[in-house]
């Protein structure tokens, strides 16, 4: 089964509120984004946004130029249906991030919670880095969250790569400058804990 078919099946057959990564509110991501004090007109993209509620919260916070990218059409439909008329305020991109046609030096913030860690092939991680490096404007930010090195080894039936702060820095420098990291204990809908690490980088 292709990766796209896998994720279409997940979003078509599961109650999104029961999947392990679901958060009723993306509280930490929203706080970290707000802490950057970006202009409300800043170009922001959420990579692997799936059916995340972050876009709802960003709209409510007044951000005006939002894009959500996901490989799954079904996930984006869930987003659009949830947002109703507000869906017209968002640019929706149905694509594998590795193949996405994104404008160069365009985004002032690239957010990715739980997409990058599915890239187990080093060549795919290199392609992701190239995409981020060419798409983020100079001085723009990359906020990435992955499973920590004491987090799960699989998610949704797929293997993942777990990361420490040092390992993420190794992946994203020297194209990006490391700003800080922090950890999160994510409580899943099944009431188990998943260990995440968040790292903020700035485009050189």
Name 91's bridge partners: 67
CATH T-level topology, domain 3-203: Rossmann fold (3.40.50)
> Average model confidence (pLDDT) for the chain?
94
pLDDT band at 23; cut points 50, 70, 90? confident
Burial of 94 (0-12, 13-18, 19+ CB in 10 A): middle
pLDDT band at 157; cut points 50, 70, 90? confident
Report how far residue 138's alpha carbon sits from residue 151's, in angstroms, rounded to the nearest whole number. 32
Q: What is the mean pLDDT of residues 130-145?
A: 98
pLDDT at 24: 86
Report how far residue 78's alpha carbon sits from residue 10's, in angstroms, rounded to the nearest whole number. 12
Domain definitions of the chain by residue range: 3-203
* pLDDT tens, position by position, 158-176: 999 999 999 999 999 999 9
């Amino acid at each position: 089964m292709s990766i796209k078919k896998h994720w279409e099946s997940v979003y078509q057959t599961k109650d999104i509120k029961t999947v392990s990564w679901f958060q009723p509110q993306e509280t930490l991501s929203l706080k970290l984004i707000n802490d950057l004090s970006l202009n409300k007109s800043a170009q922001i993209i959420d990579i692997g946004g799936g059916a995340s509620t972050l876009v709802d919260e960003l709209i409510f916070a007044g951000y005006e130029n939002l894009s959500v990218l996901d490989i799954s059409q079904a996930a984006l439909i869930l987003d659009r249906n949830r947002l109703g008329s507000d869906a017209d305020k968002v640019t929706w991109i149905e694509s594998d991030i590795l193949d996405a046609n994104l404008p160069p030096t365009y985004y002032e913030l690239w957010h990715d919670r739980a997409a990058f860690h599915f890239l187990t092939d080093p060549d795919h991680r290199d392609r992701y880095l190239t995409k981020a490096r060419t798409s983020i404007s100079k001085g723009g930010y990359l906020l990435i969250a992955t499973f920590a090195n004491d987090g799960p080894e699989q998610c949704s039936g797929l293997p993942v790569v777990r990361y420490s702060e040092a390992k993420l820095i190794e992946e994203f420098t020297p194209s990006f400058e490391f700003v800080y990291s922090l950890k999160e204990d994510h409580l899943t809908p099944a009431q188990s804990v998943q260990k995440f690490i968040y790292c903020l980088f700035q485009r050189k």
